[in-house]
């Protein structure tokens, strides 16, 4: 039983007693085919189990039915969540999703050199990855719509959250509890891959923290700004460094829940109690934040992905680029890791 060749349009045409052109039109639901004919064609196609050849179709139309998604990581909570969200809406719309993981290494350079998605996709989605000028040009050269999540690029639709505002809100919460000595765990310097999100959160931290210091007439502690690489281990180390300081923070704001988890662990190992001795506030509302009683800033990650998917669909059907990015709301989720500082 040899490998049966897949059926072609002509086979269906013959079976239905019409021309290939008509089959093509009928199958795609294009107008201009008599209802009876269409029915007959569909029946013939079903009988043969016929499926169109994407390659041939793509060659003829220039469309691919695929969107390229470029991510820096796939195995981190935030990104996998995003991917899941966008995949859902694209799949519902009958589009396929081509995944490119730039990784942390030389993959990025190679990706932009080869541009493997060239002519392979109808649109490109970039997740949280700020593009260098040259990279943006490369992507623009593709001639496909570009949408981004978490960054704004000229000529691209984008969706994101108000990082600065959310971080300010988070910091204010700490201040209102009575904290004055607040540390920050963010990204290391220089920021890998050029991420801008950590910087926006850092800026918000500085703004609030320095404001408090000014009020109190104290000088801000620069060592309170630490980097945790957005990983649990990095958060652990950063918290360790903070504990080594003479001037110790009474609260810590981590730019991601994972880093906050790491901080919690270091604190526990050091015999310090949260929130009695130190308050910890995260960012993300990771699945496990609830488990660990972590107060945090919740962001609607899956919705960000879905919104991006819808933007892609809109652009693919001729929509124009929105003049301003879609900003989704965040929300402070208070759990057990934040409280007034000891002695208040």
Backbone angles phi, psi at 182, to 5 degrees: -115, 130
CA of 274: how far to CAs of 171, 187, 200, 250, in Å?
Answer: 17, 23, 26, 10
Helix, strand, coil percentages for the chain (3-state, nearest 5): 45, 15, 40
For DNA, give the closer residue by CB, 16 or 278.
16
60 by Cβ neighbours in 10 Å (0-12 / 13-18 / 19+) ranks as exposed
The residue range among 92-100, 148-156, 183-191, 220-228 that interacts with its own copies, by the rule CB under 8 A, is 92-100
Smallest gap, in angstroms, from Cβ of residue 330 to its own copies?
19
Any contact of residue 200 with DNA (CB under 7 A)? no
Any contact of residue 317 with its own copies (CB under 8 A)? no
For its own copies, give the closer residue by CB, 202 or 238.
238
Site for its own copies (CB under 8 A): which residue of 25, 44, 73, 326? 73
DSSP for residue 332: E
- Residue 18 binds which entry of its own copies, DNA, none, CB below 5-8 Å type-dependent: DNA
Residues 5-24, interacting with DNA (CB under 7 A): 5-6, 8-10, 17-22, 24
The residue with tokens 């949408």 is: 147
CA 9 to chain centroid: 40
- Residue 9 binds which entry of its own copies, DNA, none, CB below 5-8 Å type-dependent: DNA
> Within 10 A of 252 (CB to CB), how many other CB atoms are there?
32
Write b or e for each residue in 16-55: b if 16 or more Cβ atoms lie within 10 A of its Cβ, otherwise e.
Answer: bebeeebbbbbbeeeeebeeebbebbbebbeebebeeeee
Residues 277-306, interacting with its own copies (CB under 8 A): 287-288, 290-291, 302
- Residue 218 binds which entry of DNA, its own copies, none, CB below 5-8 Å type-dependent: none
Smallest gap, in angstroms, from Cβ of residue 33 to DNA?
4
Given the rule CB under 7 A, which residues bind DNA? 5-6, 8-10, 17-22, 24-25, 27-28, 30-37, 52-53, 56-57, 59-61
């Amino acid at each position: 039983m040899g490998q049966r060749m897949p059926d072609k349009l002509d086979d269906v045409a013959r079976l239905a007693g019409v021309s290939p052109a008509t089959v093509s039109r009928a199958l795609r639901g294009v107008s201009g085919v008599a209802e009876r004919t269409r029915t007959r064609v569909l029946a013939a196609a079903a009988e043969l189990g016929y499926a169109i050849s994407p390659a041939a179709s793509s060659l003829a139309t220039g469309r691919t039915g695929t969107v390229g998604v470029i991510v820096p990581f796939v195995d981190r909570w935030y990104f996998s969540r995003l991917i899941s969200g966008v995949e859902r809406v694209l799949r519902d719309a009958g589009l396929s999703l081509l995944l490119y993981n730039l990784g942390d290494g030389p993959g990025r350079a190679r990706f932009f050199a080869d541009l493997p998605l060239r002519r392979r996709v109808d649109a490109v989605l970039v997740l949280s990855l700020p593009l260098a000028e040259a990279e943006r040009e490369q992507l623009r050269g593709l001639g496909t719509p570009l949408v981004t999540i978490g960054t704004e690029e000229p000529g691209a639709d984008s969706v994101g959250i108000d990082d600065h505002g959310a971080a300010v809100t988070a910091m204010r919460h700490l201040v209102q509890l009575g904290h004055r000595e607040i540390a920050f765990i963010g990204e290391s310097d220089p920021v890998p891959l050029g991420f801008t999100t950590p910087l926006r959160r850092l800026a918000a931290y500085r703004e609030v923290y320095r404001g408090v210091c000014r009020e109190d007439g104290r000088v801000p502690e620069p060592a309170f700004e630490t980097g945790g690489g957005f990983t649990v281990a990095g958060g652990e180390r950063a918290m360790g460094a903070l504990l080594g300081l003479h001037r110790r923070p009474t609260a810590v704001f981590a730019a991601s829940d994972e880093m906050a988890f790491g901080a919690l662990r270091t604190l526990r190992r050091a015999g310090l109690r949260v929130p009695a001795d130190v308050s910890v506030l995260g960012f993300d509302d990771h699945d496990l934040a609830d488990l660990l009683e972590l107060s945090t800033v919740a962001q609607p990650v899956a919705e960000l992905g879905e919104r991006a998917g819808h933007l892609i669909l809109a652009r693919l059907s001729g929509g124009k680029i929105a003049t301003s990015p879609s900003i989704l709301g965040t929300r402070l989720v208070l759990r057990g890791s934040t409280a007034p500082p000891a002695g208040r």
